[in-house]
Amino acid sequence: MIVQQEVDLQPFNTLAVPATAERLCAVTTLGELQDALALAQAEHLHLHVLGGGSNVVLHPRLKGLVVQMRIQGREILERLPDSVLLRVGAGENWHELVEWCLGQGLYGLENLALIPGTVGAAPVQNIGAYGVEIFRFIERVEGLTLPDGESVCLSAQRCEFAYRDSVFKNRLRNRFIITAVVLRLPLFFTPEISYPALREQLTAEQAGELTARAVFNAVCHVRRTRLPDPQTIPNCGSFFKNPLVSWFLYEHLQNLYPTMPSYDVPAQPGVAPLRKLAAAWLIDQAGWRGKVFGQIKVHDHQALVLTNPNRVGADAVLAAAEAISRDVKERFGVVLEMEPQVFGG
């Protein structure tokens, strides 16, 4: 394990904010990760774990030790007549995994194509797109506890998955490092094409039987058409979650804005009914799409995406996000919550 000093992190975050790691090491094995934890504990260093850097906002200086997760590996643990149990290293590229699974005849992940980042980050955010969330396919999550480095497996139930949320963002934040994810993937394709943009693309392209490859290609097309490539326009994808609001507030807004999109939220025992609103619609209606705040620009084609064309720092990004959130709250009474995690500061 090689530990570097004063490392530039701008190339390692898709928002391209300038940041420096006091110390940094890349880990490719469980043993190297345990060595990194031992170093952090021995020298009382704060620990930051960085995957693909696609869903984070980094402050200018990250004190302590930044660990880049690069543990690889894809292993089929079990084959059943209708499904396969697949163990994947946390450092694997997410999109490459989705495409590989298609080639192996393993289905379910095609709607999650082109989501940037690593496999280990997927459960943290409970990533989702076009009607599919990753929690549906997670059997368990493997990792190490902090600060002692004990190896632990968490069942899907213990991960406490919710909309863009999990135990790893809450109770286990800074207390657990994901090293592998075990997925239960079906061997039979069941399409999920409820989202209008996806249906429209498939209608335009599809001839004959609907296949998983067709859905994968349509998802890639829609995302490439509507979302900026971080390689050319720095961004971290959707910056805000779609808000869940009370039924009372939903009906109030629906009366004012009859064309406002909204989505069902599964009922939960003992919880008042909720409705999901489209954050992009709220931001767009408030006049922010294409607008520049400071040096941060809201994307022309997707109001959920904040872009950083001039590669300025976290303060500028967070100031723009705060201004948008405040405006939406004042106009609609809806509180927007950030998707990316903030490191440092």
Rounded CA gap, 86 and 331, in Å? 46
Catalytic residue among 23, 140, 164, 275: 164
Catalytic residue among 166, 238, 275, 325: 238
Contact criterion met (CB below 8 Å) for 191 and 215: yes
- The helix/strand/coil state of 42 is helix
**Residue 238 is among the residues annotated as catalytic for this protein:** yes
Contact criterion met (CB below 8 Å) for 47 and 67: yes
- Count of H helices and E strands in the chain? 8, 20
**Residue 79 is among the residues annotated as catalytic for this protein:** no
**Residue 339 is among the residues annotated as catalytic for this protein:** yes
Rounded CA gap, 117 and 134, in Å? 14
What tokens were used for 111?
């709607």
- The helix/strand/coil state of 78 is strand
Q: Which residues are CB-contacts of 335 (< 8 A; sequence separation ≥ 6)? A: 243, 325, 329
With vertex at residue 325, the alpha carbon angle to CA 323 and CA 331, rounded to the nearest 5 degrees, is 100
Catalytic residue among 92, 133, 139, 339: 339
Residues catalogued as catalytic: 164, 238, 339
